[in-house]
Structure 1
Amino acid sequence: MAPRKLAAGNWKMNGDLASLSEIDQLCKAHPDPGCDMLICPPALLIHPMAASAQAHALTVGGQDCHAKESGAHTGDISAVQLRDAGAEYVILGHSERRADHGETNADVAAKAAAAHQAGLIAIICVGETEAQRDAGETLSVIGEQIAGSLPERSDSANTVIAYEPVWAIGTGRTPTNEQIAEVHGFIRGQLDGRTGDAVNLRLLYGGSVKPANAAEIFAIPNVDGALVGGASLKAADFGGIVAALEAAG
C-alpha cells in the first residue's frame, strides 16, 4: 500500500495570533482531507494552533529543535518542549537553517535523534544550491546529506524526507519534472538498505509549490506530497495544493 500523502506548510518567520483564522478556513474547507495536512508555524503559535486543530484533521509541527532535551541554550527549543506544546512533527535541516546557522549533517542527525526520542516525526530536508546543480554535483550532495543527516532507526513511522532545491525556494523557479523524478528516485534508492521500509517513507518536494503547478508535481513518481512555504500562509492557496494532492491519490 502506498504511503498516505502529506501536505506540509512551513510558515517560517511569518504569522501571528490573527493568522489562526486561516487555519479555521482551511479546516472548514477540508474537513475530511484525503491526505495528511500539517502546518509548522513559528514556535509561539504552536500551542494555540494545536489546541484549535484538535477538532479538525490538521496536525501541527515545529520548524527546528535543539539536540539536547533541556539546559542553558538561550533562545532554543527542545523536541520535548515542542511535543508538550502540541507538535507532532518538526522540520530539520531546512536549507535556511543550514545556510543561516551553519548546521551540518551531523547537527541535523543529532536533532532528528532527539525528535524521535521525544515522539516527533522528523521532516529532514535535503537539497542542492544553484552552483552545485550547475556543477553536476546534485546527486552526490544529496547522497552525502542523506547519509549524514539520518540517525539510526529512521523509518517511515518517524521520518519524512523533503527534497528542496535551494535555488527554487521562493524564487518562482522549479526544476523540470525529469529533474524532480531523478532526485526523488535517487533518494528512494539511497534509503533502500538504510531503513527496513524505504518504499513507505514519504518523500516530499519543496520549492515554489503552488496551486498552479501542484497537480503536475504530484504526478511525478516518488513524490508523496509537498513542503510548502509562502503558499501555506493563506487558506485558499494551501487548500488548492491539498486539493491537488487529494486528486493525485
Structure 2
Amino acid sequence: MEQQTLLPKKPLATTQSSGSGKRTRKYFIAANWKSNGTTHFVKDIITNMINSFEYDAGKLDLMLLPGLLHISLAQAMVAPHVQVGAQNVSQHGQGAYTGEVAAEHLADYGIQWVLIGHSQRRGVFQESQEVVAEKVKKSRENGLGVILCLGENLEQREKELTGQVLDDQLTSFHTALGGNWENVVLAYEPIWAMGTGRIASADQTQEAHEHIRKWLSKTVSPALGEAMRIIYAGSVTETNCENLIKLSQVDGFLVGTSSTKPAFRDIFETVQRQAGRDLA
C-alpha cells in the first residue's frame, strides 16, 4: 500500500487537467450521515474506521458530513487529511432567523465545505431551486466550498426530461456562483434512486455525467468540463459501487445510509483501488 500523504485542512481545489487525455481528476468520497448517530457513534466510527483508512490523499479526498451537533467532535477527532463539512446551510445571512445556521457561522466555525441541494432538502423540506441557488450564493460569499446535488425525479426521467432538468439546475448554479466554479464538486443524484434501493444503470449514470460535463465545457470552458469532479449519489452500497466507479465519468460517491455502517469500508476501499489504478 502506498504511503499515506497528509494534507493541511484547506479548501480542496478542483483538479486540473494535464491536457494529455490522461485522467487527472482526483477521486472524491463523502459520507453523509444525515440525521443519524450519537456521540458514541461518532467516536466509534472515526476511531475504528475512518482514521484507520490509509490512502494517498493526492489521489483521493475523503469528507465526513456529520449532523450539526457532532461537527466539532468530528473536527477534533479526524486525522489531518480527512475533511469535515456541513450537511446544510441557511439561504439567509445572520439575523432574525430562529434556528437557522448561516454561511457566516459555518465559516466562523472553521467549516470549509457544505452540501447543498440534496434531494431530501428539496423533497422533505420543499426547497425550491431558487432557495438552493441562494444557499450557493451565500456559501460562496463566505468562502465555502460546495457539494452541489442535481438530478431528476421519476416523472421527469420517464418523460425523458433528464437533460432539460440538469441544464436548468446547472444554469441556476452558474448564476449563483457568479461563474466561478472553483471548489465545487457536483453530485448527480437521480432522485428516484434515493433511499429506494433502486439505482441508475451504468448507462444511465454515464449518460447523465457526460451530459453535465458537456454542459460545463460548452457553457463555461472545455478545461472546466474536463476537470470538474462529478460524483454519483443514489443508494450507493458495497455491492453496486464497484461497477459504478469503473465508469470513466464517475469520480467518486456521495454515500448516505451506507456510510454509517461497516460496509462503508468496502465502498471506500473500492474507490481507493480505482484511484490507485487511474492516477498511478
Distance 1:83 1:19 in 2: 25
Match of 2:34 in 1: 12
Contact kept in structure 2, 1:143 and 1:190, CA below 8 Å: yes
**TM-superposed deviation, 1:223:** 0.7
Distance 1:103 1:125 in 2: 13
C-alpha change, 1:28 and 1:99, in structure 2 (3 Å) is closer
**Which one of 199, 217, 229 corresponds to residue 244 of structure 2?**
217
| Superimposed CA distance per residue, residues 56-76 of structure 1 (whole angstroms, 9 cap, x where no aligned partner) | 421111111113331111111
Give the SS at the match of 1:184. helix
- 1:37-48 → structure 2 map (5 Å cutoff): 37-48=62-73
State the aligned residue count: 246
Contact kept in structure 2, 1:154 and 1:195, CA below 8 Å: no
Give the SS at the match of 1:83. helix
Distance 2:220 2:116 in 1: 19
| Superimposed CA distance per residue, residues 115-155 of structure 1 (whole angstroms, 9 cap, x where no aligned partner) | 12222211111111111111111111111111113321332
**Which one of 60, 81, 93 corresponds to residue 69 of structure 1?**
93
Distance 2:100 2:232 in 1: 27
Match of 1:203 in 2: 230
Contact kept in structure 2, 1:36 and 1:58, CA below 8 Å: yes
| Superimposed CA distance per residue, residues 22-46 of structure 1 (whole angstroms, 9 cap, x where no aligned partner) | 0222233313355111111111111
**Which one of 237, 242, 247 corresponds to residue 268 of structure 2?**
242
Distance 2:169 2:229 in 1: 17
* TM-score after normalising by structure 2: 0.83
- 1:145-156 → structure 2 map (5 Å cutoff): 145-150=169-174, 151=176, 152-155=178-181
**TM-superposed deviation, 1:179:** 0.4
Structure 1 stretches (4+) deviating beyond 6 angstroms? none
Give the SS at the match of 2:160. coil
C-alpha change, 1:101 and 1:154, in structure 2 (3 Å) is farther
Contact kept in structure 2, 1:46 and 1:86, CA below 8 Å: no
Distance 2:67 2:201 in 1: 31
**Which one of 97, 117, 124 corresponds to residue 121 of structure 2?**
97
**Which one of 27, 31, 34 corresponds to residue 54 of structure 2?**
31
Distance 2:49 2:110 in 1: 19
| Superimposed CA distance per residue, residues 165-202 of structure 1 (whole angstroms, 9 cap, x where no aligned partner) | 11111111111100000000000111124444232111
AA aligned opposite 2:47: D
Distance 1:217 1:102 in 2: 29
Contact kept in structure 2, 1:106 and 1:149, CA below 8 Å: no
Task: Indicate the structure (1 or 2) with the bigger Cα radius of gyration.
Answer: 2
AA aligned opposite 2:26: R
Give the SS at the match of 2:85. strand
Q: Which moved more, 1:139-148 or 1:97-106?
A: 97-106
* TM-score after normalising by structure 1: 0.93
AA aligned opposite 1:19: F
Contact kept in structure 2, 1:46 and 1:85, CA below 8 Å: no
Alignment identity in percent?
Answer: 32
**Which one of 187, 192, 199 corresponds to residue 162 of structure 1?**
187
Structure 1 gaps of 5+ residues are none
Give the SS at the match of 1:178. helix
Contact kept in structure 1, 2:55 and 2:272, CA below 8 Å: no
Contact kept in structure 2, 1:210 and 1:231, CA below 8 Å: yes
The alignment status of 1:232 with 2:235, answered yes or no, reads no
Contact kept in structure 2, 1:174 and 1:207, CA below 8 Å: yes
The alignment status of 1:185 with 2:210, answered yes or no, reads yes
Distance 1:16 1:118 in 2: 29
